[in-house]
Amino acid sequence: MHEFLSFQSLLGGTARRWISVLTELASSNLNFSTEATACLISHVAHQCGPHDPDSPLRVTHGIFRDAAFCESLRDQLAKKLDSIESNWREVYLLDTVILLALRLHSLSRGEYGEAQALLCQARGISSRWMDMLQNEGRQAKDPESSRRCQFYTLWAAVLCKRTYATYLDDKSEHFDTDSLSLFVRCSISLRNSFADNAENLPPRLKAAVIRDFKMMHEMKDKIRQAVLSQPGSFLKALEGLWSGSELQSPEKIDISADPASHWVTATIPASDASEEQQIVRYNYLHGVLLIDGMQIGKLPSNHPSFVVLEELFGKSRSWTFFVPPSTAIMDVGDEESICCIIANILV
């Protein structure tokens, strides 16, 4: 009953909707961990409302001229973030907090810095979620656990990237070393965690992925310029995905970009005479990473049926590997090819 009344109060009136949102954030009537609540808050936050001749914020969002309201909203969002620090299942709550922080950033006048602090905190939380899910995925004992980790990794990556939405509106914001590294890492993780059939994604997550692709398209020039000017940050993003990135000095890398195809190409020289140089290609629009023309972290969709993989690694579905350039087999589409690749790696 309390939740039903809270839903009604959020949709009642136009001038007091944000007051109702703030009230519900401070109460326990609504469960902010559900998709239904996230959808409702999103609807309320984005609705324009009636025209106000005295304010460009219109009647519904005029409350953001009140500094006390903005401060209270900031405090409630900070409390929500503190409560989900280590709980990577709270994707809908984090989605709602990021949405409200973005609205605070765009609609308020004096709380710009406070909204940025909230977004940075949310970015750090989602980044730690990806680390926890990566470790948990490696320890998964059954396919269902691996699928769950993959699903929540996709959520964490897309939410982390959404905190960069302020870069679209503010031309003065630029990627620094850490922010660019995390952004590239999230893009690659999102791509590697993406399900083969997007139609099976929940509606809220599907909408988030579509929104992310639109954001990437609008930011493509800024991303390209940042990667070209900070090759060290680009290599840092590859740590944990590719061991070769940890051994290279940014000054020795020859990096270039093709704006038409959205590919960045980095030529990494050999560390000694016994090795060959490697070509790293990164599609900054789609998050595709290729090492010497091969994609890491991706097995054929039918790999669970391969007996040899189950015998070697158990029933886990979260296998990630990189085939060395000395391996002649480029296509890992069948079981025989995978067996040959594993043999080359283990020799």
Q: What percent of the chain has pLDDT over 90?
A: 46
pLDDT for the residue 311: 66
Same domain, residue pair 141 and 22: yes
> Is 107 inside any structural domain?
yes
> Is 198 inside any structural domain?
no
Same domain, residue pair 153 and 266: no
Tokens of 10: 């959020």
| Relative orientation angle of helices 112-138 and 177-193, to the nearest 10 degrees | 50
> Is 187 inside any structural domain?
no
Alpha helices in the chain (DSSP H): 2-11, 17-26, 35-46, 58-61, 67-83, 91-107, 112-138, 143-162, 166-169, 177-193, 203-229, 231-238, 307-313, 335-346
Same domain, residue pair 158 and 290: no
Same domain, residue pair 279 and 138: no
pLDDT for the residue 140: 81
The tens digit of pLDDT for each residue in 286-323 reads: 999 998 888 775 555 555 555 666 666 565 544 444 44
Question: What is the rounded CA–CA span in Å between residue 255 and residue 231?
Answer: 7
Residue 343 has pLDDT above 50, yes or no: no
> Is 183 inside any structural domain?
no
Tokens of 61: 């969002």
Same domain, residue pair 38 and 156: yes
pLDDT for the residue 310: 65
Among residues 173, 201, 234, which one ends one of the domains? 173
Q: What region, left, alpha or beta, does residue 242 occupy, with left being phi > 0 and alpha being psi -120 to 50 degrees? A: beta
Residue 5 has pLDDT above 90, yes or no: no
Among residues 131, 150, 173, which one ends one of the domains? 173
What does the pLDDT average to over 128-144? 88
Question: How far apart, in Å, are the Cα atoms of 27 and each of 3, 23, 30, 117?
Answer: 11, 6, 7, 23
Question: What is the rounded CA–CA span in Å between residue 147 and residue 154?
Answer: 11
Question: What is the rounded CA–CA span in Å between residue 134 and residue 146?
Answer: 10
**What is the model's pTM?**
0.84
Domain that holds residue 265: 243-295
Residue showing tokens 């940014």: 250
> Is 46 inside any structural domain?
yes
Same domain, residue pair 121 and 168: yes
> Is 209 inside any structural domain?
no
Q: What percent of the chain has pLDDT over 70?
A: 78
Mean pLDDT of the chain: 82
> Is 21 inside any structural domain?
yes
pLDDT for the residue 233: 87
> Is 215 inside any structural domain?
no
What does the pLDDT average to over 125-139? 92
Q: What is the tally of structural domains in the chain? A: 3
Same domain, residue pair 31 and 139: yes
The tens digit of pLDDT for each residue in 189-237 reads: 999 888 666 778 889 999 999 999 999 999 999 999 999 999 888 888 8
Same domain, residue pair 14 and 140: yes
Same domain, residue pair 289 and 309: no
Same domain, residue pair 255 and 155: no
